[in-house]
Amino acid sequence: MSPTTSASARQESAPHPPLSARARQRRTAAASVVGSILEWYDFFLFGACAAIVFNKVFFPSVSPFAATLASFATFGLGFAVRPVGGLLLAHLGDRIGRRPVLILTVVLMGVGTLAIGALPTYHQIGAWAPVLLVLCRMMQGFGVGAELGGAYVMSTEAAQDHKRGFYGSLPGAGEFIGVVIASGAVAAVSTLPEDDFLSWGWRIPFLASALVVVIALLIRNAAPETEQFEAARADGRRERLPVLAAIRARPKVIALLIGSGCATAVASYAIQGYLPSYLTHQLGLSSGTAVLGITVASAVSILTIPLAGALSDRIGRKPVMIGGAVAITLFAYPFFLMVDTREPWLIYTAITVAFALFLNSVFAVAGTFYAESLPTEVRYSGLVFVREINGVIFAGTSPFIATLLVGAGGDRPWYLAAYMAAAGLASALCTWRLPETAPVRTKGATGRA
């Protein structure tokens, strides 16, 4: 072997130099964002189709009102499964690593979504159709339970201290990228004649998710494990049951964190999950009105979420979250006043203000705030527990409760507005009771929890 060949072989066999902090930060951020895109692509598709497709395709044998309730109940079932999948997978994330678990969540979400796109309808196989829909929804929920929580943990742990708010917010921005893609796909296929849309058109966005799954797997496979987890593992700081350790160590913090997220859960899923049905059945507008409004708001949110995260790096997590929660309370009634005008531009404005400005002030910062409130060895499990309990109590029930409240109000939305306002106030109070976690505010902060 020549000296040149030998040198070349030594160079090829040498270990790759470790990634710089900035490179790890960016690569981890990309891996976190792409899974979030898939998560909300999947969930927006299901929510939109629950309102305008599934009630007709999978539950056609009951009244329209009962079919809508059954469809939204299936939507909520995904949230009921989320804590089971989330806690099991998050347990593995605290024990074996963040990266392998986040690869698995992509697989579970992707398979569930693709399967929904291929399901036979009630007219083809009878009662087995809604049963299969429920099973697919459960698979989605099982994977989703650990997805966003893991993305928050990875992106926050990989970020430099003074940029944790910004990088921790990026998975949230990724979710709205998923909404934009999904709503655009739904809007496109909803232009088909109704018979074509209900027979095969609605399936196209579900089947097209295969492309997102492949991209997500490639990017996540290339992402490094976080240094904070590696350091905790090297020091032997691993809990046998991380979620129980988190609850025992910080029960009040856990309870307040759950409450701090109720505003976004209630308002977000009432608007995304229920508003298309309200506009169609109560106001007589096209189902595409809500889809387009949510698309516009989501596109704006892609910019406002990182801005809110960056702002929290400068002034603290709590001021941004409390401000957003109070704004939700104050805007709940004006929101429905604008929607009830039936003027599309006012509806789009109401949705955009509610989402891109107020909801996202809480949503953008919550993931970082949760992660910073918990120690590394229980962070994944504790954060997922907080998010998924919040999801079961508030998010998954929101479209169902919205349907009941509007029905109880004589097809008027004022009871629903009161529910949204109360959720905003509860979030503000819970956040106020928690200690500040941002480094810029930690010195001299007076936490109450």
Half-sphere exposure (Cβ direction) of 82: Cα atoms closer than 13 Å? 28
Give the Cα separation of 125 and 102 in Å (integer).
35
Average pLDDT over residues 367-375: 95
pLDDT(39) > 70: yes
| Two tokens, residue 238 | 């691993």
Assess contact for 333 and 424: CB atoms under 8 A. no
Which pairs from 411-418 meet CB under 8 Å and 24+ separation? 411/282, 413/278, 413/282, 413/336, 413/339, 413/340, 414/333, 414/336, 416/270, 416/274, 416/336, 417/332, 417/333, 417/335, 417/336, 418/332
Residues 6+ apart with CB under 8 A from 130: 58, 59, 70, 74, 122
pLDDT recorded at residue 69: 67
Give the Cα separation of 277 and 179 in Å (integer).
18
Which pLDDT tens digit goes with each residue over 71-112?
667 766 766 787 888 899 999 999 999 999 999 999 998 888
pLDDT recorded at residue 9: 43
The percentage of the chain sitting over the pLDDT mark of 70, rounded to a whole number, equals 88
**By C-alpha distance, which of 174, 65, 53, 73 is closest to 119?**
53
Q: Give the three-class secondary structure for 240.
A: coil
The CA-atom distances, in angstroms, between 56 and each of 44, 46, 53, 130, 396 are 18, 14, 5, 11, 21
* Global pTM value: 0.81
- Distance in angstroms between the alpha carbons of the first and the last residue of the chain: 68
All structural domains of the chain, each given as residue ranges with its CATH number in brackets, are 24-437 (1.20.1250.20)
For residues 20 and 324, the model is more confident at 324
Q: Average pLDDT, whole number, for the chain?
A: 84
Sign of the C-alpha dihedral computed for residues 443, 326, 387 and 181 taken in this order: negative
Assess contact for 93 and 152: CB atoms under 8 A. no
Q: Give the three-class secondary structure for 319.
A: helix
